[in-house]
Amino acid sequence: DTGVSQNPRHKITKRGQNVTFRCDPISEHNRLYWYRQTLGQGPEFLTYFQNEAQLEKSRLLSDRFSAERPKGSFSTLEIQRTEQGDSAMYLCASSPYTGRSSYEQYFGPGTRLTVT
Amino acid sequence: AQKVTQAQTEISVVEKEDVTLDCVYETRDTTYYLFWYKQPPSGELVFLIRRNSFDEQNEISGRYSWNFQKSTSSFNFTITASQVVDSAVYFCALTDLGSSYKLIFGSGTRLLVRP
């Protein structure tokens, strides 16, 4: 069990460019979450996958954001036409669907995005 | 609406002091889960504890203890004999028992333990 991994760890991009982040959850974890954390704040929920199905999206997730989990394993989060307000830490978490730990989310190290 | 409030923005203590981090929550659910996470300077959120709403027994794990009181909607976290390695931002969170079980986080308390 290697934990949740995220790539890249840091991304600097110019306003208007597209970026894509990847999350590899703990194997056999059916649930996968994306959160966004800005400086001095707690993480805020963006979207949720159960296996390959995207079942919930926050109103924070504008049309410029899209997330996928094509085979129910890794997930990608893409931001199109980035804006300076998108600068934040993007966190991925996974959780098992059943069992004693089914409500516990385990987080990856995050991808820090800076939009210049 | 569900909400988690951590009123203490930053706490500074000297090593070996005890420190309590406060967490107050709001929910209309009768069943819910509460969590504490630690975020050290490296940035990764580390799971510390989960508490079920129907279990009000307090819990101790080494130097860490948690006091859950439904009557006051509080879930406070105490570190006994603090150490420099405890310096981090600590987040309290509440599970939204909708379809996703997403976490609702407080704004965090930054703990600085000075040698």
A4-45 tens-digit pLDDT = 999 999 999 999 999 999 999 999 899 999 999 999 999 999
Average pLDDT of the residues of chain A: 93
- pLDDT reported for residue A1: 55
Higher pLDDT, B112 or B31: B112
Q: Mention every residue, 6+ apart, whose C-beta is less than 8 A from residue B44.
A: A107, A108, A109, A110
Q: Do B102 and A44 touch (CB under 8 A)?
A: no
Task: Report the chain B residue with the minimal C-alpha distance to residue A41.
Answer: B107
Dihedral angle of Cα B20, B21, B24, B30, to the nearest 10 degrees? -80
- pLDDT reported for residue A80: 97
The closest CB to that of B44, out of A31, A48, A107, belongs to: A107
At A59, give phi and psi (nearest 5°). -70, -10
Q: Does the structure show a pLDDT above 70 at B10?
A: yes
Closest approach of A66 to chain B, Cα-based (Å) = 18
The Cα A86–Cα A50 span in angstroms is 25
At A103, give phi and psi (nearest 5°). -100, 0
Mutate to test the interface with A, among B24, B25, B44, B109 (most CBs of A within 10 A): B44
Say yes or no: B43 contacts chain A, CB-CB below 8 A: yes
Q: Do B100 and A107 touch (CB under 8 A)?
A: no
Task: Report the chain A residue with the minimal C-alpha distance to residue B33.
Answer: A103
Q: Does the structure show a pLDDT above 70 at A66?
A: yes
- pLDDT reported for residue A72: 85
Residues of B in contact with A43 (CB under 8 A): 45, 91, 103, 105
- The three-class DSSP label of residue B72 is helix
Task: Report the chain A residue with the minimal C-alpha distance to residue B91.
Answer: A42
Residues of B in contact with A91 (CB under 8 A): 45
Burial of B52 per CB tally in 10 Å (0-12, 13-18, 19+): middle
